[in-house]
Structure 1
Amino acid sequence: MPQLPSFSQAGSLDFQAMPWTSSGTERPLQQALQALQEEHDQAQQRLVDLQQQAMAGEKAAAAAAAELQLSSSAASVTDKVVELEARVADLQAKLRKGKASYDKVKAAGDGLKQEADTLRQQ
């Protein structure tokens, strides 16, 4: 059975000078073509697999970025809540202080009113 030349030898061979007959070259060439087609199909499938893996990786990266953004947003919201709680506590302290001042002024006003009523009755 005749052997096909290797690819490195193919450039130096004169195919017209080969002693093979048409029927003798057909089968080895078909086998070589079939082998190349199989390699091509495998390479094509590998490419499809790699593309799918890349898409899955991109989706995972996008999901991780979204999760990171949510985490960052949650931290920002938590910081804002802490800030607002501090402001509420400050306003409550001011309100208590204002109420105490109001109570003192009201008590003093009530005392002055009673004193005025007492002076009017005399």
Structure 2
Amino acid sequence: MTEIILAPVQDGREGRDRLEIMTALVNSPSFAPVFRSEIVEIPPDHPVYRWICLVTDCERPRAGRGDLCGAHETAWRRLRTERSRADFLRTADLVGYGEELRERPCRLCPERPSPS
């Protein structure tokens, strides 16, 4: 007797159905609008994904897991025995942009600028 093995039939709708489900989820009212565009840009003061230093008017990104940039974290460690954190956040000196914003040539495309 000859044994017949049937290969599973590929249904072309599976990928299309998944795309339709994903599109419906992205267009739902509960989906955050910030994630709807092709290029996602998280604002610095986003309520959940906040990435900017907590010091008033400081535009540096947070360092590590803390709420402060590297310069303000160092200053806070020095001053935390002398004043409250709320007072420090209101009165801390601005430190300006960090070195990470200086443009250097890209390592792969030397004719293009790169921030790092």
TM range (shorter): under 0.3
Say which one has the larger Rg: 1
The structure showing larger relative contact order (alpha-carbon pairs under 8 Å, at least 6 residues apart) is 1
The structure with the largest helix share of the pair is: 1
TM-score by structure 1 length? 0.21
